[in-house]
Amino acid sequence: MTSVSTLPKIELHLHLDCSLSFNAVSKLAPGVTREEYASDYIAPARCTNLAEFLSRAPKGVVLMQDEPSLRITVEDLFHQLQADNVIYAELRFAPLLHLERGLSAERVVDIVNRATEHMSRATGIEARLILCTLRHFTKQQSIATARLVKSYQGSRVVALDIAGDEAGFPLTAHIEAYDFARANNLFRTAHAGEACGPESVWETLRLLEPTRIGHGVRSIEDPELVRHLRQHRIHLEICPLSNIQIVPEIADMAHHPIDLLYRQHVPLNINTDTRMLTATTLTRNYEEVSRVFGWGPREFLETNLMGLDAAFVDETVKTILRAKIDASKFVPNLA
Ligand SMILES: [Zn+2]
C-alpha cells in the first residue's frame, strides 16, 4: 500500500536556517537537551503573530556562522528531505545573517552552494538555492543580496526572496533589489499575505513583480486577487502547518484556505517552511491536508506538478523530474 510518505515530492519553500533537527543542534551546540530544543528552538504551536514566531529563528542562525556548521546544516536538511521522499527542493537562506564570525557573504554562499552540490549528488535529490533579503534590511543589504544571486548564476543559486516581518517593515527599501533581479533575468519569489492581508499581496505583486508568492494564504479574502493569481499563474508556496502556527486568521487546518484556493485553480503546492520552528515534516503536512480535506493521489499529483511548473529550474531538469513523478506512483489506497 502506498503511503503519503513515499509519494515523490517537490518542496519550494524551505528555510535552511530554521530547519535544524535536534540531531544537528546537538552537533552544533553540544549539551542542548531534547527539552531545551523543544522549548527554545521550536516556536509555540500558536504564535501571537509572525514577529513572535520569528523571535526563535536566531537560535538556529547563531549556530551557523562558520564552514563546518553551515555544512552540517545542509547535510542535516538533505537527510530530512530524504525521509520525506522529496525529489526536488529549493532551500532558502539570508547570506547576510551569517557574517558574525568573519565569513564574507560570498564565502557563505560558496560554502552552502558547495555543500548543496555535494549532498544533491550524494542523495539524488535535485536542489536549488534561493537567497533571501529581509524586510528589516537596508536598501544596500537588499541590493547586495540580489547581486549575490547574479554573481552565482550558473551554480545552485537561482533566485531572490524577501522574508521577515511583513507587518513591521514596508517594501520600499527592496524595490531596487527586485528591479535589479528582474533586469538580470533572475527568478523572484516574495513572502506576502501571511502576516498581512490581500492588500500586501497586491502591493508585493505590483512593486516586486515576483512569479511566486511565499504563503499568500490571505489572498483568499479577496476574490479579485484569487482571480488575478489564477489568470497570471502566480504560484502560491503554501505551508499549511506553519500557516496555522503563525496566521491568527487560520484557527486550524479546517480553516486553512488551501482547499478553497486549489478548487479555484490557483497554482500552489505544499511545503514545510520551517522544519525546526514548526517541528514538522513535509509528510506531516500532506497527512494533515489529507485528513481534513480528503486529499488523495489526484490532488497530490496535481499540486506536485504545479510546484514543478513553478520551480526555478530549466525545462530539461523539469522533464527528468516529471518522469520521476510518474503518475503510477500516485496510486489509490493512500494510508
Ligand atoms: Zn518562509
pLDDT in tens, the chain (335 residues): 358 988 999 999 999 999 999 999 999 999 999 999 999 999 888 888 888 888 888 889 999 999 999 999 999 999 999 999 999 999 999 999 999 999 999 999 999 999 999 999 999 999 999 999 999 999 999 999 999 999 999 999 999 999 999 888 999 999 999 999 999 999 999 999 999 999 999 999 999 999 999 999 999 999 999 999 999 999 999 999 999 999 999 999 999 999 999 999 999 999 999 999 999 999 999 999 999 999 999 999 999 999 999 999 999 999 999 999 986 666 655 44
Query: What are 136-194's pLDDT values in tens digits?
Result: 999 999 999 999 999 999 999 999 999 999 888 999 999 999 999 999 999 999 999 99
Gap from CA of 115 to ligand 1 centroid (Å): 21
For residue 164, the CA-to-ligand 1 centroid distance in Å is 8
Give the helix ranges, DSSP H, for the chain. 22-28, 34-36, 50-54, 58-61, 67-83, 105-123, 139-151, 175-183, 198-208, 223-231, 240-246, 258-263, 282-293, 297-310, 315-324
Cell of 171: 517594501
Dist. CA 313 → ligand 1 center (Å): 19
CA of 163 to the centre of ligand 1 (A): 6
Q: How far is the CA of 214 from the centre of ligand 1 (A)?
A: 6
Residue identified by cell 521522499 is 85
Task: Copy the grid coordinates of residue 276.
Answer: 525546526
How many angstroms separate the alpha carbon of residue 136 from the centre of ligand 1?
A: 15
Cell of 245: 502556527
Domain 4-317, architecture per CATH = Alpha-Beta Barrel (3.20)
d(CA 20, CA 7): 23
Ligand 1: centre distance to CA 218 (Å): 14
Residue 150 CA to ligand 1 center (angstroms) comes to 22
Q: How far, in Å, from the CA of 299 to the mean position of ligand 1? A: 23
Q: Measured in angstroms, how far is the CA atom of residue 280 from the centroid of ligand 1?
A: 14
Evaluate whether 98 touches 131 at the Cβ level (below 8 Å).
no
